Amino acid sequence: MEYRLLGRSGLKISTLTMGTMTIGGGGKFAQVGNVGLDEARRYVDMCLDAGVNLIDTADIYSTGGSEEIIGDILGGKRKNGVLVATKARFNMGPGPNDGGLSRHHLIAACEASLRRLKTDVIDLYQVHEWDGQTPLEETMEALDTLVHHGKVRYIGCSNYSGWHIMKALGISALDRRHRFVSQQIHYTLEAREAEYELLPISIDQGLGVLVWSPLAGGLLSGKHRRNQTPDGTRQLAGWNEPPIRDEERLWKIVDMLVAIAGERGVSPAQVALAWLIDRKGVTSVIIGGRKEEQFRDNLAAASLKLTDEERELLDAVSLPPVLYPYWHQLRSAKDRLGEADLSLLGPHV
């Protein structure tokens, strides 16, 4: 297992992170998995034995159930130096202040997560989504307070847009507060929009990148093929993340994954994960599942290295159209540079 620095920090995390959205099974997350304590304990041990040192959860996963199970497994002891990340933002109760990124909710949510996780400190505390009502100054001040009080070691964001991130970093710098060290994003061979702004921002601003749902909710695992969707999958259960807007492009990507996997004697899921692990800017890829064989298969991706030819084939079949303003920049760059080094404009050109 390889370990990489998390953004502009000294914290080293494994290139694979254990995800826990399938643990617990309460509320809306019953659709994606209901892994119980005994199963989860096996999966945690399996990940730690493979060298994974970060477990990622959130208070909203099974309405606290995922955090509680992780807390029971770790038992207040951080065996093998395991790190824990969690998130807050979504409503955890019926009250008007039971959600959002206000000082009131963030501090209360953090204290509740600490109790459920049975720990004194959260290694990486992430705001789960943008809050367009709370002033960002208030959110960043609350996160800074949690760090100064020793309840949180590092802070990050999840599902932010480019301007959200830059505004937050700007406020942190202006007020001399702790800044985000990472962002958590959705990024796969099927969904490469992050390459337009989120990944360049991470590289430029020194942010680590954690990738959630790297197999597109299982669509890139190899189980789904043209005219062949297995029973009991997330997609059939009504879980529609990510949205698929070009189904033919999806199946072309799956066909290529299957072809490369067959040549290498590995699973399509391992090929998709290996592609992500080596993408510029990516720090760690979050793996999860409902079965032991899913974790075992995903963990093997840490040691799979794709050839340049394989990566080029995957890049070619998955490349989306160049979006504005990149097509405009590409045109003007060609006028200035001819066909010289256009990589200055980003990965899509």
Residue 237 has a pLDDT of 46
- How would you write the pLDDT of the chain (349 residues) with one tens digit per residue? 999 999 999 999 999 999 999 999 766 666 677 899 999 999 999 999 999 999 999 999 999 999 999 999 998 656 668 999 999 999 999 999 999 999 999 999 999 999 999 999 999 999 999 999 999 999 999 999 999 999 999 999 999 999 999 999 999 999 999 999 999 999 999 999 999 999 999 999 999 999 999 999 899 998 888 877 665 555 544 556 778 888 899 999 999 999 999 999 999 999 999 999 999 999 999 999 999 999 999 999 999 999 999 999 999 999 887 888 877 776 665 555 454 444 544 555 4
Is residue 317 within 8 A of residue 308, CB to CB? The reply is no
Which residues does the annotation mark as catalytic? 61
Using alpha carbons, list the distances in angstroms from residue 270 to 206, 249, 313.
28, 20, 16
Position 27 scores a pLDDT of 67
C-alpha span between 165 and 156 (Å, rounded):
10
Q: What is the pLDDT of residue 49?
A: 95
How much is the pLDDT for 95? 95
What's residue 230's pLDDT? 63
pLDDT at 123: 98
> What pLDDT is recorded for position 56?
98
Residue 53: name the closest of 284, 293, 290 by CA. Answer: 284
Per-residue CA distances from 107 to 66, 127, 138, 156, 231 (Å)? 19, 12, 12, 15, 42
**Residue found by looking up tokens 């080293």 in the block:** 12
3-state secondary structure the chain: CCEEECCCCCCEEECEEEECCCECCCHHHHHCCCECHHHHHHHHHHHHHCCCCEEECCCCHHHHHHHHHHHHHHCCCCHHHCEEEEEECCCCCCCCCCCCCCHHHHHHHHHHHHHHHCCCCEEEEEECCCCCCCCHHHHHHHHHHHHHCCCEEEEEEECCCHHHHHHHHHHHHHHCCCCCCEEEEECCCCCCHHHCCHHHHHHHHCCEEEEECCCHHHCCCCCCECCECCCCCCCCCCCCCCCCCCHHHHHHHHHHHHHHHHHHCCCHHHHHHHHHHCCCCCCEEEECCCCHHHHHHHHHHHHCCCCHHHHHHHHHHHCCCCCCCHHHHHHHHHHHHCCCCHHHHCCCC
To which residue do tokens 């290139």 refer?
Answer: 15
* Residue 249 to residue 297: CA distance in whole angstroms: 25
Contact 298, 287 (CB under 8 A): yes
Would you state the pLDDT for residue 170?
98
Q: Tell me how far apart the alpha carbons of residues 85 and 124 are, in angstroms, rounded to a whole number.
A: 4
Question: How far, in Å, are 59, 109, 141, 296, 341 from residue 106 at the CA level?
Answer: 11, 5, 10, 35, 45
Token couple for 303: 């040691």
